[in-house]
Amino acid sequence: MRILSIETSCDETAISIIEAIGDFPTATYQILGNALFSQIEIHKEFGGVFPMVAKREHAKTLVPMLEQAFTEAELLENNPTELDHNENKEITSFLEREEGLAQSLLDFLHTHELSEIDLIAVTSGPGLEPALWVGISFAKALAVILKCPVVPVNHMEGHILAALYNVVEDNTLASIAFPAIALLISGGHTELVLMKGWAQYEKIGETRDDAVGEAFDKVARLMGLSYPGGPEIGRRASEARTAGLPLYKDKLPRPMIGTDDCDFSFSGLKTAVRYAIDNRKMTEDEKNALARDFEEAVTEVLLKKTTKAIDNFDAQTLIIGGGVSANIFIRRSFETELLRTHPDVEIYLPHRNLSTDNSIMIALAGHAEMANGRTGGALTLLKADGNRSL
Ligand code: KG4
Ligand code: ZN
């Protein structure tokens, strides 16, 4: 089965074409084409992502990404696509709210023909609703052209499957032991999810305020670093470790570390950082030290709550997904700590290229949804759901 996948939930515009050989979860997934445009440089100017700016950029970038993915996959012909009057009308009406997108798609189709796709998988949530809608509308228009069904995918399921996808060796999903715990840490979410089997998700803990990635980004902003701050905090923290810098000030708090649940809270930690900075102009060393102190506080809380979840449910497997799983210190800390305290628990982390948002993970989740018989119904009923939950 050939899957075309689309991701536009935040600030990455991504389209992939994946060939799934076999059935979920034992299929082999060949990446035929993969195009991704990060809007980070555009959002840097504003210090964060404004949904309407993201939406406009997705609308501008989707057709170039489509062309790149199909070209890589060698599934693009230089013939005009033949569309009848009704198809033309449907495409235009699905894209009527997405500025310029209907015209750029129709222009592209005047000279190009796309072929041989069996399923379209598109992120329907969670995420920024205006941004999600662009991807959904585009998926509907492509379904008219490619004459195939569309399956709406949960972005967080994508992050889970990305962690299990072995893109280096055999292009399959790991065959994991259940129950499994998934720790999802991204810009918008921080959750612990219990999986008793494939595609069975039960949220057992979440943040009560800021998500981990959001906390990284806000703390970076307090230190005067540019958006998104997560990677920069990680870089500076590791410099502080190499240089053996002392604590920036007092030890930072570990919010909710001792509570008897699997929930998190990070806004108090961010406030503690704000007080520690106290509007002072910081030296580079001080910024590095504070970045490290913050990273350590976050990691300790994540570790504590995740091992509690593993113990509570006697989990055999730990999966870590979401953009913050790109953080080297968090990755290493989980690997070494878990090996020490839970040597029987197998840990899965995404390949670093698949940690942050991408459309490969959306294709994997689309295949999983199909296996569960959840192909989307009528195109007109497909909707974005910014708060979609696992
Ligand atoms: O999953 P993702 O790409 O988008 C969402 O679904 O939200 O996650 C983005 C988040 C941002 O907050 C970003 O700062 C954070 O992941 N992030 C990192 C690192 N790379 C990305 N946080 C800490 N260390 C990193 N290396
Ligand atoms: Zn994400």
Task: Report pLDDT digits (tens) over 47-65.
Answer: 889 999 999 999 999 999 9
72 pLDDT tier (thresholds 50, 70, 90)? very high
Ligand 1 centroid from CA 323, angstroms: 3
pLDDT, position 374: 81
Terminal Cα-to-Cα distance of the chain (whole angstroms): 25
**What is the rounded average pLDDT for all residues in the chain?**
97
* Nearest ligand 1 atom, CA 229: 14
Ligand with smallest separation from the Cα of 324: 1
Ligand with smallest separation from the Cα of 185: 1
Both tokens assigned to 34: 């993969």
Pocket test for ligand 1, best of 186, 294, 328 (most atoms within 8 A of CB): 186
CA trace torsion 172, 199, 358, 317 (10° rounding): -60
Which residue CA neighbors atom 14 of ligand 1 most closely? 230
Both tokens assigned to 235: 């870089």
Which residue CA neighbors atom 7 of ligand 1 most closely? 187
* Nearest ligand 1 atom, CA 321: 1
Amino acid at 41: E
Give tens-digit pLDDT for 198-237: 999 999 999 999 999 999 999 999 999 998 999 999 999 9
* Nearest ligand 1 atom, CA 234: 24
* Nearest ligand 1 atom, CA 155: 6
Ligand 2 centroid from CA 357, angstroms: 5
Answer yes or no: are the C-beta atoms of 273 and 251 closer than 8 Å: no
pLDDT, position 276: 97
Ligand 2 centroid from CA 157, angstroms: 10
86 pLDDT tier (thresholds 50, 70, 90)? very high
Q: Compute how many other C-beta atoms are within 10 angstroms of the C-beta atom of residue 339.
A: 11
Question: Which residues, judged by CB distance below 6 Å to any ligand atom, belong to the binding site of ligand 1?
Answer: 10, 186-188, 213, 216-217, 228-231, 234, 322-324, 326-327, 356-357
Helices (H), 223-327: 229-243, 267-277, 284-313
- Residue 351's nearest CA partner among 364, 341, 340 is 364
Amino acid at 222: L
Both tokens assigned to 134: 């662009």
Q: Is the model's pLDDT at 115 over the cut of 90?
A: no
Rounded to whole angstroms, how far apart are CA atoms 132 and 384? Answer: 6
* Omega before 126 within 30 of 0, i.e. cis: yes
Pocket test for ligand 1, best of 13, 38, 324 (most atoms within 8 A of CB): 324
Which residue CA neighbors atom 16 of ligand 1 most closely? 323
Ligand 2 centroid from CA 269, angstroms: 22
Which residue CA neighbors atom 24 of ligand 1 most closely? 327
Rounded to whole angstroms, how far apart are CA atoms 11 and 277? Answer: 29
**Range with the lowest mean pLDDT among 126-140, 315-329, 371-385?**
371-385
Helices (H), 147-283: 155-164, 212-222, 229-243, 267-277
Both tokens assigned to 226: 């540019």
pLDDT, position 47: 87
**104-117 exposure pattern, b = at least 16 Cβ within 10 A, e = fewer:** bbbebbeebebeeb
Ligand with smallest separation from the Cα of 226: 1
Ligand 2 centroid from CA 316, angstroms: 25
> Looking at residue 246, what DSSP letter applies?
P
Both tokens assigned to 157: 């399921």
* Nearest ligand 1 atom, CA 212: 12
Both tokens assigned to 268: 């108090």
Ligand 2 centroid from CA 324, angstroms: 9
Ligand 1 centroid from CA 212, angstroms: 8
Ligand with smallest separation from the Cα of 362: 2
Rounded to whole angstroms, how far apart are CA atoms 189 and 321? Answer: 11
Give tens-digit pLDDT for 291-343: 999 999 999 999 999 999 999 999 999 999 999 999 999 999 999 999 999 99
Give tens-digit pLDDT for 137-175: 999 999 999 999 999 999 999 999 999 999 999 999 999
* This prediction's pTM: 0.97
Ligand 1 centroid from CA 59, angstroms: 23
373 pLDDT tier (thresholds 50, 70, 90)? confident
Ligand 1 centroid from CA 217, angstroms: 8
